[in-house]
Amino acid sequence: MALLPMLLGLVAMSSPWWEDYDIKDRYLCADKGGVVVERNASQATLISGGTHTTFFRDTSSDPALIYRNDDWRLILRGDELTLERLPMKITCLRSEQV
């Protein structure tokens, strides 16, 4: 019986197959716990619990990978993920590739 909730949690932590994200990373955030970022060259999805938030690639000249939506910026620099909605910033560290 304990296996079913765990399996349901794993299903909730991935995007639908048709979104075709080729890179999936898990991050640990100080106040938010764990999140998953699934991405490709043009968009990304941030998965936190059962919530999926979609971001689109920003083509700025910044060396970091930047995705954004109307409210947030998702910034990837090496093993660090930063979520910005100024003045709020949440910093997370990659814990594993999924």
Bridge partner residues of 77 (DSSP): 80
Cα separations in angstroms, 92 against 29, 46, 48, 64: 4, 12, 12, 15
Assign residue 19 the CATH number of its domain: 2.40.128
pLDDT of 47: 93
Q: How far is 59 from 79, CA to CA, in rounded Å?
A: 20
pTM: 0.76
Residue 46 pLDDT > 90: yes
pLDDT of 66: 96
Counting the structural domains of the chain, the total is 1
Q: How would residue 15 be classed by pLDDT, with cut points 50, 70 and 90?
A: low
* Mean pLDDT over the full length of the chain: 82
Domain that holds residue 48: 3-97
